[in-house]
Amino acid sequence: MRAIYLTGFMGAGKTTIGRRLGEVLQLPVIDTDAYIEQQVGKTITKIFAEEGEEAFRTYERETLKELPTEHVIITTGGGIVIQEENRQFMREHGIVIYLHCELHELFRRLADDTTRPLLMENKQKQIKQLFEQRLPWYREAHMTIDTTNRTIDDIVENIVSLLKSPRF
Ligand SMILES: Nc1ncnc2c1ncn2[C@@H]1O[C@H](COP(=O)(O)OP(=O)(O)O)[C@@H](O)[C@H]1O
Ligand SMILES: O=C(O)C1=C[C@@H](OP(=O)(O)O)[C@@H](O)[C@H](O)C1
Ligand SMILES: [Mg+2]
């Protein structure tokens, strides 16, 4: 089975849903952010602060190519879609699932978060701006799942049943 890539904005639930999906489908799960943190030996926040966003994007691009492309769930960081090369790689090597979430719920889920360096000040404005810029890229996925006002279990069940479709 080809890799399953979960994409979507910060707070869409990629890391959380991926973990649960891995349990249900009995597949290993790799989170690109966690992988980078482990390889570099620094938190995402520290990488952004000390090396800058460009360096992080390079780690992200290299990581994507290094990871397995079979029999695995890869939960990505929300900005992986910025680079055309990454979007193309994921589409070619796996099934790309975009976890959509409406802005008002993203505001709620990210309100108290302090671990995402791109959302430090003027949070709602930053979220809206980045979300609108990235939406067309997220939409290039093979399938879109709306996570707004839905439980993790419901979303996972939805993904599992869609994956059974002959299209995949
Ligand atoms: N369907 C959901 N309903 C409510 N809260 C959710 C849902 N999915 C994720 N969350 C919460 O939103 C926050 C961000 O989730 P996370 O999995 O880290 O998102 P991502 O990896 O897409 O940035 C976490 O606090 C998580 O518990
Ligand atoms: O959207 C982004 O640019 C980012 C999303 C984060 O991952 P999550 O989407 O898992 O929060 C993390 O990669 C980094 O803070 C940058
Ligand atoms: Mg995540």
Neighbours of ion ligand 3 (CB under 5 A): 14-15
Residues 6+ positions from 86 with CB-CB distance below 8 Å: 60, 61, 64, 80
**Structural domain boundaries in the chain:** 3-154
DSSP string, 95-120: EEEEEE--HHHHHHHHTT--S-GGGS
Residue nearest to atom 3 of ligand 1 (CA): 151
Top mutation candidate among 5, 6, 10, 118 for ligand 2, by most atoms within 8 Å of CB: 10
Kindly tell me if the per-residue pLDDT of 25 is higher than 90.
yes
Ligand 1: distance of its center to the CA of 56 in Å? 22
Q: How confident is the model at residue 89 (pLDDT cuts 50, 70, 90)?
A: very high
Q: How confident is the model at residue 13 (pLDDT cuts 50, 70, 90)?
A: very high
Residue nearest to atom 6 of ligand 1 (CA): 13
CA dihedral 77, 78, 83, 88 (to 10 degrees): 80
Which atom in ligand 1 lies closest to the alpha carbon of residue 109? 12
The answer to whether the CB of 134 is under 6 A from ligand 2 is no
Q: How confident is the model at residue 166 (pLDDT cuts 50, 70, 90)?
A: confident
Superfamily of domain 3-154: P-loop containing nucleotide triphosphate hydrolases (3.40.50.300)
Residues 95-130: pLDDT tens digits?
999 999 999 999 999 999 999 999 988 999 999 999
Q: Is residue 71 classed as helix, strand or coil in its secondary structure?
A: coil
Binding-site residues for substrate: 33, 57, 78, 134
Ligand 3: distance of its center to the CA of 168 in Å? 24
The answer to whether the CB of 117 is under 6 A from ligand 2 is yes
